[in-house]
Structure 1
Amino acid sequence: MSLRVRMLALIGLFLALLAVAGAAVMIVNARDAVRAEMASALDLGIAIGRAEAERGAISDTVAALDRLGLRHLRFIAGETPPEPLGDGHAAVPGWFAAMIGVAPQAHPLTGADGSVLLTVVAEPQDEVAEVWEDLQSLALAMLVVGLLLLGAAWMAVGRALAPLARIEAGVQRLRAGRYDSGPRGGLAGGVPELARLGSGIAALAEELAAAGRENRRLGQRLIEAQDRERRGIAREIHDELGAALFAIKVDAGRILRLSEEPRPEAFISERVEIAGRARAVLSMAADVHRLSRRILVRLRPALLDQLPLGEALCGLVDEWARREPEVRWSLDIAGDETPDGLDGLDEVLRLTVFRLAQESLVNALRHARPTRVSVSVRRSSDRVEVTVTDDGPGLAEGPAVADDEAGHGGLGISGMAERVRALGGTLSIGPNGGRGTRVAAFLPCVPVGLEGVA
């Protein structure tokens, strides 16, 4: 059953109850009125009948009284039982007369000898008939008014609920992934509540469309970042690893030829050349090893696979301290608010926290020229806060950081922001008080949208 029909059914039920209550009140009032009318008519009939009976014969008295046409009264010579109620008005249903419950009232007038001379009868049939006619007229009027009211309510409710169809169509478009709900007023109209609901759905469609565009933009940026990363790795492999392997191949081939074709007259010089070639091969192998480690660190920090997150961050800061001994380094890790601390974070969060610290340190040393760098990682029950501060010239005085330049650690400024947003967190990069730069990231411990995933 539709909402429109239910509302009209409730209105109809209310009208029906109102009609039943009105009829009940009318019947109760009519019962009292008929009884009072019958008592008054009977008193009048008794007075008139006694006066007329004293004048002459009873038959002449009855004829004279009948000619008066007194309403509700009937005069009978002698003692005659009254007729049952309703016999004189067949139009009045018996059940209605029974509901009124007023029977004919008879009063005998006796003579001096005690005999009944005249019987005065007060009959309620006419009064009951009038009440029945009034009730019929009232019922007809209420029926007409009720039908008109239901018709008006049908039109008003239909007009008020008309936006529901547009709202339903808008929701279906949202479910289908189409956010072209048109102007905001397209889902409005009708009652204020539905207008607000339509405006809210239209605003939601706009936000979903904007989120879809932002997701496509982020996806494109991530693909571009991956392509840049792959091109960088390919360039390093081609330029450095390829050249090193080619040099190793040349030196190894020369060593092989010298060892297969020994010449006694050039034995000393060949041994010297073989030793030099071997040292060159060892040097190239060391370069290849360092290059492979650098590429692997860019792809996946080995520290995270070998150590807990806190120790991996300590190793990261210690490594930079060895490289930059003139800079004062500090690391503050606080995860005591939860039983498992930082070790209880999932793999994605652990990698993100490490990458944030890694990239922030790279940017601080590359662009800020600081004398002091501080790293702070704090975990509460519902989020992780990563803060990296330095005392360099700051954003206002320092050089601008380009996204492609900031990609050494694998993320870059743009990549960090996109990754933090993807996890439902926030990233802010700004001045650190009066001097320096402050990078602060807030990450929920459970990624947005995965709260109910076991």
Structure 2
Amino acid sequence: MSLQLKLNLMITGLLLLLLSASAFFIVKNASEDVRAEVTSTANLALHLLDAEILQYSSDFGWINNAESNSVFRLQNLGNIRHLKIEFYDMNGKLRESNRSKQQGLENNSPPKWFTNAMGLSGAGLSKHTRNIMVSGRYVGQLVVTPDPSYEIAEVWGDTIWILGLAAIFFVLINILVYFAVRHTFKPVDRIVEALTQMQHGLFSNRLPDFKQVELQEIGQKFNAMADTLQKSTQNNHRLTQQVIRLQEDERKNLAREIHDEIGQYLTAIHMDASAILNGKKLSGAKESAKAISDVTRQMMDMVREILQRLRPRVLDELGLGLALDELM
């Protein structure tokens, strides 16, 4: 995995972590706001209902004169969305409610996991009951149940909108980060190209002065290394040419010595040998043989001198072991 891809993944992970933390705190703050609003509405409604109950508790006739399905006229409280208010008669039958049967959250209903994440099922949102006593007689029960579903739906709508903006922001930031990292790593491609050319023996290539401080130092070190290698290569090439010329000169000298010296000796040996073959006196043959012996000794001295010149100096300076290692 390239360093550029790793940086992009790291930044993407940090953005996701930041967005997750932001969503958590948004849901947490919204939950506290909904709880406070529903609780305050419930307390206010209970105070009003207690006042109504107190007003009619001494008069039993209002129940008899009330409509069959409307005792507290709870249908007029349908605009109170945070509370569900219900009145049950003494037999436990629902007489009236501020919620109609058709009323609900058909549209923009939040998912179940979001409702659970709000955590509004705890203390402070439990239902409240009031027993209705008229002239000491139990006539029914009034039940007030906090209902945060409408507020949760509104929070869900706002959260969807915020998450949509966050998603767009996340995509735009990733695109900007990708191009920024790509632009930042563009000099790395230039460095790799220069190293590839150096690998193929092209030491004349130089890196420009990069804007980044770190890459600028790398470029300076690379250029210094390229200068050193180029000079070393030129020196090696010059030394190689000198060695080749010295070898050629040595070969010419050896050829000249072999031709001038050994050639003459061989000619002399040949003449003395012919004299021995054609000679009739033993004294003449001895003189020719003595001359051949002298010439042969001189040839041996010359060959020993030539071999000494051809002998590698490393043998004398380093010894046989190090000389073999150097040769390998």
What band does the TM-score fall into relative to the shorter chain? 0.7 to 0.9
After TM superposition, give the deviation of residue 153 of structure 1 in Å: 0.6
Is 1:292 paired with 2:279? no
Residue 171 of structure 1 corresponds to 195
Residue 34 of structure 1 corresponds to 34
After TM superposition, give the deviation of residue 243 of structure 1 in Å: 2.0
Residue 254 of structure 1 corresponds to 275
Alpha-carbon distance in 1 for matches of 2:212, 2:151: 50
1:128-178 Cα distance to aligned partner (Å, 9 max, x none): 123223322321232232222112211210101112322232233233333
Alpha-carbon distance in 2 for matches of 1:242, 1:115: 151
- The structure having more radius of gyration, on CA atoms, is 2
Root-mean-square deviation over aligned CA pairs: 3.6
Alpha-carbon distance in 1 for matches of 2:214, 2:312: 55
Unaligned segments of structure 1, at least 5 residues: 263-269, 314-341, 350-422, 424-446
Contact persistence 2:84–2:98 (CA under 8 A): no
**Structure 1 segment 405-444 matched on structure 2, within 5 A:** none
User: Measured at CA, do residues 178 and 130 of structure 1 come closer, stay the same or move farther in structure 2, by a change above 3 Å?
Assistant: same
Residue 50 of structure 1 corresponds to 50
Q: Which has the higher contact order (CA 8 A, sep 6+)?
A: 2
User: Measured at CA, do residues 165 and 220 of structure 1 come closer, stay the same or move farther in structure 2, by a change above 3 Å?
Assistant: same
Please identify which structure carries the higher helix content. Answer: 2
Structure 1 length-normalised TM: 0.57
Give the AA of the match of 1:184: L
Is 1:236 paired with 2:257? yes
Unaligned segments of structure 2, at least 5 residues: 57-61, 64-69
Alpha-carbon distance in 2 for matches of 1:294, 1:15: 84
Give the AA of the match of 2:107: A
Alpha-carbon distance in 2 for matches of 1:115, 1:32: 37
**Structure 1 segment 73-112 matched on structure 2, within 5 A:** 73-78=83-88, 80=94, 87-88=104-105, 90-95=107-112, 96-103=114-121, 105-112=126-133
After TM superposition, give the deviation of residue 109 of structure 1 in Å: 2.5
Residue 358 of structure 1 corresponds to none
Contact persistence 1:248–1:281 (CA under 8 A): yes
Contact persistence 1:76–1:118 (CA under 8 A): yes
User: Measured at CA, do residues 242 and 82 of structure 1 come closer, stay the same or move farther in structure 2, by a change above 3 Å?
Assistant: farther
Q: What is the DSSP-based 3-state SS (H/G/I as helix, E as strand, rest coil) of the residue aligned with 1:102?
A: coil
Residue 406 of structure 1 corresponds to none
Contact persistence 1:49–1:118 (CA under 8 A): no
**Structure 1 segment 269-418 matched on structure 2, within 5 A:** 271=283, 274-300=285-311, 345-348=321-324
Q: What is the DSSP-based 3-state SS (H/G/I as helix, E as strand, rest coil) of the residue aligned with 2:127?
A: strand
Is 1:211 paired with 2:232? yes
Residue 127 of structure 1 corresponds to 151
Give the AA of the match of 2:299: V
Give the AA of the match of 1:152: L
